[in-house]
Structure 1
Amino acid sequence: MEISTTLSTDLVDDQKLAAILENPGFGQHFTDHMFTVEWTPERGWYDARITPYGPLSLDPATAVLHYAQEIFEGMKAYRHDDGSVWSFRPEENARRMVRSSQRLALPELPEEDFVRAADALVEVDRRWVPDSAGEKSLYLRPFMFASEKFLGVRPSQHVTFMVIASPAGSYFKGGVKPVSLWLTEEYTRAARGGMGAAKTGGNYASSLVAQQEASRHDCDQVVFLDAQEQRYVEELGGMNMYFVHADGHIVTPETGTILEGITRASVIELAGKLGHQVTERRFGIEEWREGVASGEIVEIFACGTAAVITPVGELRSAQGTTPAPASTDLTMRIRQALVDVQYGRAEDSFGWMHRIC
C-alpha cells in the first residue's frame, strides 16, 4: 500500500503537548494527523493517505448513519526507555478486524496494510507517544465504516478505513483496585449467531443501558449472562473474565458469543508459562457464587486493552451480594508480567512486540 503524506501546518505546540502528555486522560486529545484509505468493488483499496486531523464531511444519507455497518479496533503504542516505539500484537488486531469485516459484510483490509497504516500514523505523530511513567501510551483506533450515500439495506459499495490516535493515561487513578460488578438479568449482549464476536459499535451501544443499571447500584461494570439460558457468564461491558481455582487452574468463558480479546489470548499464554492451566468453557453464575462461598474460587480478574488486567471485587445482583475473593496475588503477577513485556522491561519470549520506529 502506497501512502501519501500531507503534514499539518497547525501542529499542537510543544508546551501544550507536554501538558497533554503529563495528564492525557483517555480519548480526550487527538494527534495532529489521521490515516484514511477508501474502497469500492471496482477499485479495491485506493488513495491511502495521511492528512491533518480534522472533521469528516458526511452526506445525511451516508449508510453508516442509518444501518450501523461499521467495525473498529483498539490497540496501543508504547515508548520504551531507549526512546523506541512499539505496538503489541498488531497482527492480531488486523486478523480480528478481518473476522469483524466478514460478519458485517465489509471488505477485508489485508493484514499487512492494517499494520502499515497504524505504523505510518505513529511514525508521523511519534512525538505524541508518552513516556512509560504511570503506564501511559498512545491509544490507536483503527475503524471502518459504510461511507456510500444511499438508503437501503445492503452492503455499502463505498467503504472508508481510518486510523486516529489519542494519548492515554493509566486506566486506574491512584493505583490498580478491584472493580465492583452488577449482574444484569434484564439485558443480554449477544446471542449465538449474532455479532458478539465482532468488534462493532452496536455491541457497545447495546451495553450502555445495562451499564447505567450498574451505575445506579454503585457498581463499576456490568456482567452479562448468555442470552439463551441466562445461566452462564459471558463478559463485562468491555472486558473478558477469568476465575482462578484453589488448585491453580483458571477458567475463562468460551468464545462464540463474546469478543475474542487480544489481551485475553495473551493472558492465557502468560498464565500457562507461569504454570497455571487455563480452560475455556461455559461458566455458570451459580458456580461463581458457590465457588467464592466455598473457597474453591480464590481470585477473579478481568482484562481488556484499556485496563490491561484488573482484579474483580464483589458481585451485586437482585439476589444479593457475592463478596470478592481475598487474594489478588496471581492477578497482579500476570498483570505485571504483561505490562513489563509491553514496556520493554522484560524479555519478549512470545514475540508479541512490533517495533514501529
Structure 2
Amino acid sequence: MVATLSADALRHLRHNQGMTTTPTTPVDIDWSTLGFSYIRTDLRYLSRWKDGAWDAGTLTEDNVLHISEGSTALHYGQQCFEGLKAYRTKDGSIHIFRPDQNAARMRRSCRRLLMPEISDEQFIGAVKQVVQANERFIPPYGTGGSLYIRPYVIGVGDNIGVRSAPEFLFGVFCLPVGPYFKGGLTPQNFIVSDYDRAAPNGTGAAKVGGNYAASLMPGQQAKQTVIEGRHFADAIYLDPETHTKIEEVGAANFYAVTRDGRFVTPRSPSILASITKYSLLYLAEHRLNMPVEEGDVYIDRLDGYTEAGACGTAAVITPIGGIQYGDEFHVFYSETEAGPVTRRLYDELVGIQYGDVEAPEGWIVKI
C-alpha cells in the first residue's frame, strides 16, 4: 500500500536524509521566467519489482539511478513513462489533474512492452508522496506555472539477451515548469515531416521512449527550417501507412475545428491517446455544446478547418497558426491570435486545473 505521508513522517524522512529544507522552505526561482527544463527538486519516489512483486517504495534525495550495464532499458528500449501536473489554486490548495488516466495509460504501455503493471493505488499514492514532499516547488497561483510530474518504469538487472528484464524500477520525480512553447496561447507554425513517428502496427499508442527518440531528428530539422521568413515550432507527422492524414504534432496530439462547428481529432492505432485531448473532447461537447468526433484529418483538406491546435500535458493547448506542407502554407484562424473555440477551451481547461472552474466528477485529486 502506498499512501500520502503524514507531516511527521515527512519530517522524519527529511531528518534521516540530512535535509535542512521543509516543504515550505522558499526556493530561489523566478516564477515569471520559468521555462520547461530540468530543475532538481528535493525528493523522488522509487520502487523495485523483483521476484514477482513491487515493493512498497521509498522517497529518496538521490536523483541518480544505479542500474546494471545490461539493463534492458539501455539496450532494447524496455521502458515507458508518463507526464502529469499538479497546480496551486487561489486558496493555496493543491490539485492533481486526472492521475487515474495516467495510471491507466501507463498500464497499457507496460503491457505492450512486457513489463509488470502499476496499480492505481501505487501510482497515485507515489504521485501524492512526491507532490507533498516537493510542495515548495509548486509555482504560486497566478504565475502560469505548474509542477510537472514524471513517472516511469524501466527494465533493469543483469541481462544481455533480447528478452524481458529480470527486474524493474518504478520511479516518480517532479519539477516546476512554465509553458512548453514560449508565448503561452500564441499561435505556432508547424511543418509536415517526411519521417514517420511510429510504425503502423508498432508502439505509437504506447508512451515509450523509442517514439520520442525517433522524433528528435525531424523535430530538430523542423526548428532549423525557415521558409519565406517563417520559423517552425516542430514537425507534424502523417499516418505511417498512407502518409495522407495528420496524426501528431511533435510530442502532442492534434485537433481542429471544422467550418460547420465540429471539434475533430485524428483517430489512428499509432497515436498516443492524450489525456488532454480526451479532456478537450469532453469539454467541447459538454461545456461548449459542440459536435465532436475522432476521425481522419487529411493533410490535403485543411481548407475545411477554421482553427487547429496541439494539445498535451506539457503543451496544454498551443494554437496552430499555419502548417507548411510541401510548397504550400495553410493558415487557419490567424498566425498571431488564438481562435475563439481554442481560447474558450483553454480557459475552461486551465480554469479546471487551477480550481477556478468547476471540474467534471473525478477529474481533480486534492492534496
Q: Which runs of 5+ in 2 are unaligned?
A: 4-8, 226-230
Contact 2:70 2:156 in 1 (8 A): no
Sequence identity percentage: 36
Equivalent residue, structure 2, for 1:72: 81
2:234 pairs, out of 221, 225, 250, with 221
Which is further off, 242-251 or 23-32? 23-32
Structure 1: which 5+ residue stretches go unaligned? none
Match for 2:35: what amino acid?
G
Q: Distance in 1 between matches of 2:121 and 2:300?
A: 44
- Read off the aligned partner of 2:294 and give its amino acid letter: E
Q: Do structure 1's residue 170 and structure 2's residue 183 form an aligned pair?
A: no
Verify the 8 A CA contact 2:184 2:318 in the aligned structure 1.
no
Report how far residue 255 of structure 1 moved.
3.5
Q: Does 1:313 align with 2:326?
A: no
**Aligned-partner Cα distance in 1 for 2:282–2:139:** 28
Residue of 249, 258, 271 corresponding to 1:245: 258
Secondary structure of residue in 1 paired with 2:216: helix
- 1:24–1:168 Cα contact (<8 Å) kept: yes
What is aligned with 2:117?
Answer: 108
Q: Partners of 2:343 and 2:21 in 1: how far apart?
A: 37
TM-score, reference length from structure 2: 0.90
Deviation at 1:132, TM superposition (A): 2.1
What secondary structure sits across from 1:337 in the alignment?
Answer: helix
What's the offset of the Cα at 1:317? 3.0
Q: 1:47 to 1:275 in 2, by over 3 A?
A: closer
Corresponding residue SS for 1:222:
strand
1:239-264 CA-partner distances (Å, limit 9, x unpaired) = 11111112111221004110000000
| 2:42 corresponds to | 32
- CA 1:272–1:183 in structure 2 vs 1: closer, same or farther (change >3 Å)? same
Task: Please give the alpha-carbon distance, in whole angstroms, between the structure 2 residues aligned to 1:165 and 1:333.
Answer: 29
- Alpha-carbon contact 1:147-1:156 (below 8 Å) kept: yes
Asked if structure 2 preserves the Cα contact closer than 8 Å seen for 1:121 and 1:163, the reply is yes
Aligned residues: 348
Report the Cα distance in structure 1 between the residues aligned to 2:273 and 2:208, rounded to whole angstroms. Answer: 13
CA apart distance, 1:179: 1.1
In structure 1, give the amino acid aligned to 2:34. P
Corresponding residue for residue 332 of structure 1: 343
Mapped partners of 1:65, 1:263: distance in 2: 30
In the TM superposition, 1:54-93 aligns within 5 A as 54-93=63-102
| TM-score normalised according to structure 1 size | 0.92
- In 2, the alpha carbon distance for the partners of 1:225 and 1:86 equals 35
Q: Distance in 2 between matches of 1:131 and 1:255?
A: 38
* Counterpart for residue 6 of structure 2: none
Q: Indicate if the aligned counterparts of 1:26 and 1:166 stay in contact, CA closer than 8 A.
A: no
2:267 to 217, 236, 254: 254
Residue 47 of structure 1 deviates from its aligned partner by: 4.3
User: What is the CA distance between 1:139 and its match in structure 2?
Assistant: 0.5
1: CA distance, partners of 2:59 / 2:354: 27
2:290 is the counterpart of 1:276: yes
- Match for 1:304 among 312, 327, 333? 312
SS at match of 1:133: coil
CA distance in 2, matches of 1:39, 1:77: 27
On the 8 A contact 2:31/2:143 being kept in 1, the answer is no
Query: CA deviation digits over 1:73-101, x for unaligned, max 9?
Result: 00000111111111000000000000000
Shift in Å, 1:10? 3.7
Partner deviation per Cα, 1:83-131 (whole Å, 9 max, x = no partner): 1111000000000000000111110011111000000111122122111
